[in-house]
Amino acid sequence: MKLPNNPLINFITRILIFSLIILSIGVLLFTTVLKEYYLDIHTYTFVFFIVLTIIVHLIILKASKKKMVKFAPYFMLSNAIKIFIYFLYIGVYLFFNKEDAIPFIITFLSLYLLFTVFEVNSILRHLKS
């Protein structure tokens, strides 16, 4: 399937397809073997990752139109802010729900790894073009 030439539309299409695959695997796992570890917050965390990844990618796309010298600071700053927001999200949840810490952190770190690999791959693909 040929995607539109607009990098943002292309990214959103790809992240939605990627997210549907992750969602399908997550539903399968959490309705069978991991049923006892499902938390309602997992759904919100999943949407949180999608939205934050799109926002950061938009910032990086805008920065990539500038000189490469200016791209690196935008990239680093946007990722630093994103990590700060992640820590804030984790901290607030765990402050109120200490008993769910292990399943929450495992799910969060799994999503972080998956979305980070996806985002870096997308950025490299965009910069090569």
Do residues 50 and 21 make contact, with C-beta atoms less than 8 angstroms apart? no
* Cα 1 off chain centre by: 23
Q: How many helices (H) and strands (E) does the chain have?
A: 4, 0
pLDDT digits (tens, 9 = 90+) for 108-125: 999 999 999 999 999 888
Q: Encoding tokens for residue 90? A: 């984790």
pLDDT digits (tens, 9 = 90+) for 36-62: 999 999 999 999 999 999 999 998 888
Question: In the structure, what pLDDT confidence band is assigned to residue 16 with cuts at 50, 70 and 90?
Answer: very high
Domain extents in the chain: 7-128
Do residues 9 and 3 make contact, with C-beta atoms less than 8 angstroms apart? yes
Question: In the structure, what pLDDT confidence band is assigned to residue 17 with cuts at 50, 70 and 90?
Answer: very high
Overall pTM surpassing 0.85 (yes/no): yes
Closest CA to 103 of 6, 2, 26: 26
pLDDT digits (tens, 9 = 90+) for 18-32: 999 999 999 999 999
pLDDT of 71 higher than 90: no
pLDDT of 81 higher than 80: yes
